Amino acid sequence: MTGRPKLKIRLGWVLAALLLAAGTLSAGEELLRPQFKYAAGTENLMEGCEGNLELAHEGITFRCPGGAVSIPFASITRMEYRSDISSRISRLKVRWKIRPVFSSPLFGGKQHRFFAVVFHVDNAHHVLVLRVRPGVMRPYLAEIDLKANRRVEVENLEEY
């Protein structure tokens, strides 16, 4: 009869290890899933194109199945992370491929925010607006500040 309690303990450890492994796998899948969505801008990308943001020493690259946009840090004139797209950016005189749509914070503003980058290439202003969740964007903000030697203007995040 002493073998049964040991078997239950071993079985318990095996189940705990399986649950832990399953949680780790699902967290890893979340990292591989596209975290950014093209919301508006002047680039030749499809609206809603989902992809990831890559940070290098020279600049930012947004890659999605529809293409890629590389932005050198030296060409960036403004960066914002807000619950909506600022009027300063939406009123720019640029050739919008996809116009910015204003989103009210009452309807999902806490879940998704907009990361907007204004940059100057070939004597013309360009804009890239990505939709991204705050939890995903937080680590990027610090790294962009360091690599770009320029701050991202962030709307107050106290409600998070």
What residue type is assigned to position 155 of the chain?
E
Per-residue pLDDT tens for 111-150? Answer: 668 999 999 999 999 999 999 998 899 999 989 988 988 8
Say what the pTM is.
Answer: 0.74
pLDDT at 100: 83
Per-residue pLDDT tens for 65-110? Answer: 999 999 999 999 999 999 888 889 988 999 999 988 765 555 444 5
CATH number assigned to the domain covering 35-154:
2.30.29.30
Instruction: Specify the DSSP class assigned to residue 68.
Output: E
Look at residues 144, 158, 149 and name the one whose alpha carbon lies nearest to residue 56. 144
Residue 52 scores a pLDDT above 60: yes
